[in-house]
Amino acid sequence: MSKLTDVPKRILIGRALRSDRLGETLLPKRVALPVFASDPLSSVAYAPGEVLLVLSIAGLSAYHFSPWIAVAVVVLMFTVVASYRQNVHAYPSGGGDYEVATTNLGPKAGLTVASALLVDYVLTVAVSISSGIENLGSAIPFVVENKVACAIGVIVLLTLMNLRGVRESGTLFAIPTYVFVAGVFLMIAWGAFRGVVLGDDMRAPTADFEIKPEHPGLAGFALVFLLLRAFSSGCAALTGVEAISNGVPGFRKPKSRNAATTLALMGLLAVTMFCGIIALAAATDVRMAENPAKDLVHDGVPLGPDYVQDPVISQVAEAVFGHGSFLFVVLAAATALVLFLAANTAYNGFPLLGAILAQDRYLPRQLHTRGDRLAFSNGIVLLAGAAALLVVIYGADSTRLIQLYIVGVFVSFTLSQTGMVRHWNRLLAVEKDPAARRHMIRSRAINAFGAFFTGLVLVVVLLTKFTHGAWVALLGMCIFYATMTAIRRHYDRVAEEIAAPDTPSEDTVRPSRVHSVVLISKVHRPTLRALAYAKLLRSDTLEALSVNVDADETKALREEWERRGIDVPLKVLDSPYREVTRPVIEYVKSLRAQSPRDVVSVIIPEYVVGHWYEHLLHNQSALRLKGRLLFTPGVMVTSVPYQLESSEAAKLRARRRQDWAAPGSARRGPAERAKETPPRT
Amino acid sequence: MSKLTDVPKRILIGRALRSDRLGETLLPKRVALPVFASDPLSSVAYAPGEVLLVLSIAGLSAYHFSPWIAVAVVVLMFTVVASYRQNVHAYPSGGGDYEVATTNLGPKAGLTVASALLVDYVLTVAVSISSGIENLGSAIPFVVENKVACAIGVIVLLTLMNLRGVRESGTLFAIPTYVFVAGVFLMIAWGAFRGVVLGDDMRAPTADFEIKPEHPGLAGFALVFLLLRAFSSGCAALTGVEAISNGVPGFRKPKSRNAATTLALMGLLAVTMFCGIIALAAATDVRMAENPAKDLVHDGVPLGPDYVQDPVISQVAEAVFGHGSFLFVVLAAATALVLFLAANTAYNGFPLLGAILAQDRYLPRQLHTRGDRLAFSNGIVLLAGAAALLVVIYGADSTRLIQLYIVGVFVSFTLSQTGMVRHWNRLLAVEKDPAARRHMIRSRAINAFGAFFTGLVLVVVLLTKFTHGAWVALLGMCIFYATMTAIRRHYDRVAEEIAAPDTPSEDTVRPSRVHSVVLISKVHRPTLRALAYAKLLRSDTLEALSVNVDADETKALREEWERRGIDVPLKVLDSPYREVTRPVIEYVKSLRAQSPRDVVSVIIPEYVVGHWYEHLLHNQSALRLKGRLLFTPGVMVTSVPYQLESSEAAKLRARRRQDWAAPGSARRGPAERAKETPPRT
């Protein structure tokens, strides 16, 4: 049993696990739900508000369309959930939309999905943190007064946490997510009870405001366009639904079935919360406007630039629970926390997707290695930097950021569902069993409807949001796409260049002999060790090579060589300019020129030190020489390390670093799945 | 003959020389004078003003002490020049004050001198550039209005020039220095002619101002103290005199004699210019004050903070030549240019001294190599950064910076002259020839007087300037001293640790066998080459090692291995977490554990690419693995490079970089001198 003092730590970061025990951390449904659903569930904190905000453009009268928009979002949510339940069963390997699109629609579609998802991760961080700050600000005014600074602070905090490798733990996610869900349900139930049974007149803090419509009396096509725009904003509730399809390997068995159940549960919770909040907002007369300073009017006077518009969820909570009440504060805190956790999922998803893309050589290979701290760090810093940039540019205003958001998600939805239709078509072409065929035809119908509906929404989103900011997201996708294509092209070109020929060519002609050259500066333990090792290798010739940069030192070296009777010939190169690199390179080249088919093996004694500043004091000429030798053909360069006492420190540091947990390891599932991955086409 | 278009370039940067022809660039006296004397000569641009400035504290009446202070400075200058003429003859190797102090007074004194000189180089840059900007500002008001920005701009420009390795050329120095000297002499002559022969009443622009003394009626000890302070400020004229003693190897033969003559010439020029300017300032009624805004009064009204006090030299030039006249502008430009060249000498002197200190292991060894671009670059950036910091802190105000300046110079003067006295004592103890003895006794007397006088000045400077800023210079010296002591201690500790034992110990026990392991990821040209090279080495065992990070790839590797019939056994390590480093390290350790006296040779095929961004895409796991292997005892790590086509670009770049000329190479003299250096005690 762990000690009592360990409990808070265990709650915060979960049980510490060595990475070779990672296989044991399979997620039960009750933990998987909060881990994967914090992103989609948290979006009900801002999606309803966005709907009202857009509607307000046509004035208060347009608010009565909000239930219809809610219905449309619910239908879409069920469609998407139903579609992804098919994905989860068909592709249990966790490749998600990228895998589905690549396998069924080809690498370009796959890369498009990947670019869209990468952009989406950046936006998840920016939107969730901005919205979290706004929710926290409804309880703590200081936070909203210093919105950008606080948002950047949270980004920095999450970045540091993830760089240090805080292990993702189910508990960390479970508590705030369940508190949030329970709080919202309690609010809906208590609000319904007060309104319907007690007949209380609950009023939101903005209930007395009037809305000055920007386009009063909108009708016909313009009104339809506005309703579509409001619907697009409401679709923010769907972001993150695809996360579960990336996380199937992390579930307990039966993986696919558990994942599908979790998906259904998540959909149900999300729509109930979304509709409940929309209904409560209508019942408590919440008033929101796109430009509250100008368009919200109180007693005939516009509210002015100092007015801060609280999110719908906190206005409703205020109306139901009362301003400053305990439950109001708890819900605000839980909402903010869930939104920050949602941002954290992007920190986990980004390297996960990066690893899969690296496997297909669209990103540097080292991203594929689990636990390559440096590679992950670069990815995390890239993600955080891009999100911070957006937060600063858009003033941590969730409403403005959401305009950029949904494009990526729906690009990925649409391509993935289209891919699923192809998937079923391919299977149906060979499947004979009538029961299986029926099942497949049903699945295909669901996916086809999903593809059609999400495609339609994508078009609507693009049409209604392009000028409002969606173009930024598209630009980001293009940049990712171009970069990844270039990296893949580079790898392909190199692979072609280095491909082993089937027929023996000049490359495979055996080199005939090897000349070994040990570089010597002084006679000391490292050089003696290097000489001893070099002798073991039994090359055709062996000589010691020194560069005369100081006549006295060279003389001392020759004498010491004689005195000790070292049985390796010592050759000294002249270097009037005290250079080391050039004479050695030229000597090696001259050896090669004498006998071009021979190989020169250059053996360099090297000190191993423990601190970076010590490194500045040693090995610099050796490093430079090695760098230059690598460009010389027909050479092999050998380091014979001599570990100084201080190197122990570095050894410990390296060992600690290796036990580091990469972000996203929990949802990546056990490592064995690498073997289950079906080969890509 | 060179083309006509080459002429401007040749004037600007001198004939392009390959570094192996550096030996030809010996300096004739007429070129050596401007190269070495730009620093001391340029100081007459600010030293006379500093004297007047300090005197003004006691009021205008104190100005009549200025000739006496000039006389004191002249005596000091002759003393120092006479002393250094002894140094130049006794130590022709160019080690300068550092060598003299180390040889005769021990390493601690030498290191003190070195620290003082390093601080001095930083201050030379800061003071010269600030003063240059002030001189330029007397002709171009914009420059002085944006003093700090312009000064930083010049620092950046000089830094970039030196980083790019613009070769120091005699012509570059000669033209502005001779124009400056000629201009000052013309001004003195023309001023004397106008004043004495024509009887003109020349009036400086500040002649009508009155000085409100900060301490009126100063007398007794306080007055003496003030006069000493004024003298200390005037001693700024002596900075840089020691430069020639560092540059003897750069002179044509007879080196020492030519250097001594140049030194005398320089001293003569400097004192004439210094006295002439002081005299002209008195004749034209120049008024300067330490706080001109408050203490300079015109028609009973203080001038206020907007008043910019021009340097003495430009005020005198204005009085003699007339404001805005051609000669006035030419002199202002030449003054500024000479001051910037003086700053540039610090960029050359810093790496030169660094190389000598590196030879004695007080600084990283790579500084010792001529033309190690990276090492020089670090030194140059350090110098520029420190100077820029001082410029910003002191608002590019040469008067405030000069308070820090002179300490270092006089520390170095005093220790060097004391060392010279010891030097002659040592020689006299063995010398029998009466003529030689007479000569030595005379030299010793000169150096003894020099040591006494400069020591006295050092005490005066410390007493009068400590609180005005000299403490900053002392702090800087302490930091350099401590750092260099720590580096030396580190090198000594390592040298002790790695010293080869005279009796065979466990270290020299021959390892018995070597196991070679070739790391394989795929079968391609680089791995085939590595295998072929590994076979040549005839180690006791040879196997190929692969890490299974992807089951399919491993299967394909095994099949390819079979198909090609490669006659090296292939061992595959399991790696459930897709790590590469850990399994290999553990395997190597297990080999060592089985037979501890054996050596493991790990052979890694490596791609060589041409661009840094390509490097991000390759070799990252190889690099990390190599880094970790170096910490494992009993291992040698061999890279077998495979040059990709793009590596050609990097090869060319490296070759270009090697032909780079390090700053200070001209004054460092030909490389052969390394052999002439007498062994240090």
In DSSP terms, A516 is beta-bridged to: A542, A601
Which residue in B has a C-alpha nearest to residue A605's C-alpha? B636
Ranges for all domains in chain A classified under CATH 3.40.50.620: 515-644
Chain B residues lying within 8 Å of A365, measured CB to CB: 617, 620-621
Give the per-residue pLDDT at B17. 38
Q: If DSSP codes are grouped into helix, strand and coil, which group holds residue A587?
A: helix
* Cβ burial, residue B646 (10 Å; 0-12/13-18/19+): middle
Question: What burial letters (b/e) apply to B46-59, b meaning 16+ CB within 10 Å?
Answer: bbbbbbbbbbbbbb
Distance from C-alpha of B241 to C-alpha of B84, rounded to nearest angstrom? 8
Give the per-residue pLDDT at A31. 80
Chain B residues lying within 8 Å of A525, measured CB to CB: 497-501, 507
Instruction: Say yes or no to pLDDT of A7 above 50.
Output: no
Residue A416: closest CA among A96, A94, A37? A96
Residue A512 burial (CB count, 10 A): 12
Instruction: Say yes or no to pLDDT of A579 above 80.
Output: no
- The residue ranking higher by pLDDT, A654 or A191, is A191
Confidence of residue B240 (pLDDT cuts 50, 70, 90): confident
A638 phi/psi in degrees, rounded to 5: -115, 130
Give the per-residue pLDDT at B8. 42
Q: If DSSP codes are grouped into helix, strand and coil, which group holds residue A207?
A: coil
- State which of A61-65, A367-371, B182-186, B614-618 shows the largest mean pLDDT: B182-186
Strands (E), A495-568: 514-519, 541-548
Q: Which residue has the tokens 């070495």?
A: B36
Instruction: Say yes or no to pLDDT of B238 above 90.
Output: no
Judge: A498–B580 Cβ closer than 8 Å, yes or no: no
Ranges for all domains in chain B classified under CATH 1.20.1740.10: 28-486
Residue B368: closest CA among A155, A492, A621? A621
pLDDT tens-digit profile of B435-466? Answer: 999 999 999 999 999 999 999 999 988 988 88
Confidence of residue A405 (pLDDT cuts 50, 70, 90): confident
Instruction: Lowest mean pLDDT of B100-114, B303-317, B472-486, name the range.
Output: B303-317
Chain A residues lying within 8 Å of B364, measured CB to CB: 616-617, 620
Chain A residues lying within 8 Å of B375, measured CB to CB: 620
Instruction: Say yes or no to pLDDT of A14 above 70.
Output: no
- State which of A325-339, B135-149, B202-216 shows the largest mean pLDDT: A325-339
Judge: B671–A359 Cβ closer than 8 Å, yes or no: no
CATH of B514-665, one of 3.40.50.300, 3.40.50.620, 3.40.50.10860, 3.40.50.150: 3.40.50.620
CB-CB contact of A20 with B576 (8 Å): yes
Q: What percent of chain B has pLDDT over 70?
A: 88
pLDDT tens-digit profile of A462-490? Answer: 988 888 888 999 999 999 999 999 999 99
Distance from C-alpha of A244 to C-alpha of A266, rounded to nearest angstrom? 10
| Angle between the N-to-C axes of helices B107-139 and B96-105, in degrees from 0 to 180, rounded to the nearest 10 | 160
Distance from C-alpha of B359 to C-alpha of A554, rounded to nearest angstrom? 14
In DSSP terms, A573 is beta-bridged to: A547
Q: Which CATH class, in words, describes the domain spanning B28-486?
A: mainly alpha
Q: Helices (H) and strands (E) in chain A — how many of each? A: 27, 8
What does the pLDDT average to over A663-670? 56
Residue A148: closest CA among A174, A164, A130? A130
What is the identity of the amino acid at B494? V
Judge: B638–A642 Cβ closer than 8 Å, yes or no: no
Q: Helices (H) and strands (E) in chain B — how many of each? A: 27, 8
Chain A residues lying within 8 Å of B549, measured CB to CB: 368-369, 674
Judge: B645–A497 Cβ closer than 8 Å, yes or no: yes
Helices (H), A140-248: 141-145, 147-164, 170-192, 220-234, 243-246
A603 phi/psi in degrees, rounded to 5: -110, 125
How are beta strands A635-643 and B635-643 bridged, if at all? antiparallel
Judge: B675–A551 Cβ closer than 8 Å, yes or no: yes
What does the pLDDT average to over B86-107? 87
What does the pLDDT average to over A635-655? 80
What does the pLDDT average to over B607-629? 78
Judge: A550–B674 Cβ closer than 8 Å, yes or no: yes
Instruction: Lowest mean pLDDT of A261-265, A507-511, A671-675, name the range.
Output: A671-675
Q: What percent of chain A has pLDDT over 90?
A: 35
Instruction: Say yes or no to pLDDT of B523 above 70.
Output: yes
- Tell which of B370, B563, B636, B651 to mutate to test the A interface (max A CBs under 10 Å): B636
Residue B63 burial (CB count, 10 A): 20
**Is the bond preceding residue B254 a cis peptide, omega within 30 degrees?**
yes
Chain B residues lying within 8 Å of A549, measured CB to CB: 368-369, 674
Chain A residues lying within 8 Å of B525, measured CB to CB: 497-501, 507
CATH topology of domain A515-644: Rossmann fold (3.40.50)
- The residue ranking higher by pLDDT, B307 or B478, is B478
In DSSP terms, A625 is beta-bridged to: none
Distance from C-alpha of B455 to C-alpha of B461, rounded to nearest angstrom? 10
Judge: B642–A498 Cβ closer than 8 Å, yes or no: yes
What does the pLDDT average to over A439-456? 93
User: What does DSSP assign to residue B501?
Assistant: P
Mean per-residue pLDDT over chain A, rounded: 83
Which tokens go with A673? 């799945």
Element (DSSP H or E) covering residue A652: helix A647-658
Between the CA atoms of B40, B46, B50 and B53, what dihedral angle is there, to the nearest 10 degrees? 170
CB-CB contact of A557 with A520 (8 Å): yes
Question: How far, in whole angstroms, is CA B649 from its chain's centroid?
Answer: 32
Judge: A552–B679 Cβ closer than 8 Å, yes or no: yes
Instruction: Say yes or no to pLDDT of A517 above 90.
Output: yes
Give the strands of the sheet with A301-302, arranged side by side. A210-211, A296-298, A301-302
- Tell which of A484, A487, A513, A529 to mutate to test the B interface (max B CBs under 10 Å): A529
Give the per-residue pLDDT at A6. 42
Judge: A631–B621 Cβ closer than 8 Å, yes or no: no
Give the per-residue pLDDT at B667. 57
CB-CB contact of A89 with A388 (8 Å): no
Mean per-residue pLDDT over chain B, rounded: 83
Which residue in A has a C-alpha nearest to residue B20's C-alpha? A577
Instruction: Say yes or no to pLDDT of A15 above 50.
Output: no
Element (DSSP H or E) covering residue A404: helix A398-430
Chain B residues lying within 8 Å of A561, measured CB to CB: none
Instruction: Say yes or no to pLDDT of A584 above 80.
Output: yes
CB-CB contact of A546 with A584 (8 Å): no
CB-CB contact of A636 with A599 (8 Å): yes
Q: What distance in Å separates residue A643's CA from the closest CA in chain B?
A: 6
Ranges for all domains in chain A classified under CATH 1.20.1740.10: 40-490
Residue B585: partners with Cβ closer than 8 Å, 6 or more residues away:
B625, B628, B629, B632
Confidence of residue B670 (pLDDT cuts 50, 70, 90): low
Give the per-residue pLDDT at A189. 93
pLDDT tens-digit profile of B179-217? Answer: 999 999 999 999 999 888 888 888 888 888 888 887 777
Give the per-residue pLDDT at B658. 59
Q: Which CATH class, in words, describes the domain spanning A40-490?
A: mainly alpha
Give the strands of the sheet with A599-608, arranged side by side. A570-574, A541-548, A514-519, A599-608, A635-643, B635-643, B599-608, B514-519, B541-548, B570-574
pLDDT tens-digit profile of B378-437? Answer: 778 889 999 999 999 998 888 889 888 888 889 999 999 999 999 999 999 998 999 999
Which tokens go with A555? 């003389």
Confidence of residue A664 (pLDDT cuts 50, 70, 90): low
Q: Which residue has the tokens 């560092």?
A: B246
Instruction: Lowest mean pLDDT of A136-150, B1-15, B173-187, B659-673, name the range.
Output: B1-15
- Which residue from A579, A618, A672 is facing B371, i.e. has the nearest CB? A579
Which tokens go with A221? 């096509």
Residue A150: closest CA among A343, A402, A424, A392? A392
Which tokens go with A140? 């703590």
Give the per-residue pLDDT at A663. 59
In DSSP terms, B516 is beta-bridged to: B542, B601
Distance from C-alpha of A117 to C-alpha of A74, rounded to nearest angstrom? 23
- The residue ranking higher by pLDDT, A580 or A115, is A115
Q: What distance in Å separates residue B262's CA from the closest CA in chain A?
A: 27
pLDDT tens-digit profile of A585-620? Answer: 999 999 988 888 889 999 999 888 877 777 777 767
pLDDT tens-digit profile of A278-300? Answer: 999 999 989 988 888 888 888 88
Distance from C-alpha of B223 to C-alpha of B229, rounded to nearest angstrom? 10
How are beta strands B296-298 and A635-643 bridged, if at all? unpaired
> Is this prediction's ipTM beyond 0.85?
no
Judge: B536–A626 Cβ closer than 8 Å, yes or no: no
Q: Which residue has the tokens 């079979």?
A: B562
Judge: B620–A366 Cβ closer than 8 Å, yes or no: yes
Judge: A647–B658 Cβ closer than 8 Å, yes or no: no
Ranges for all domains in chain B classified under CATH 3.40.50.620: 514-665
Give the per-residue pLDDT at B14. 38
Give the per-residue pLDDT at A480. 94
Distance from C-alpha of A562 to C-alpha of A552, rounded to nearest angstrom? 16
Confidence of residue B625 (pLDDT cuts 50, 70, 90): confident
What does the pLDDT average to over A70-88? 92
Instruction: Say yes or no to pLDDT of A242 above 70.
Output: yes
- The residue ranking higher by pLDDT, B653 or B597, is B597
* Direct distance between the N- and C-terminal alpha carbons of chain A, in angstroms, rounded to an integer: 49
Instruction: Lowest mean pLDDT of A321-335, B182-196, B660-674, name the range.
Output: B660-674
Instruction: Lowest mean pLDDT of A162-171, A428-437, B324-333, B350-359, name the range.
Output: A162-171
What is the identity of the amino acid at B141? P
In DSSP terms, A638 is beta-bridged to: A603, B638
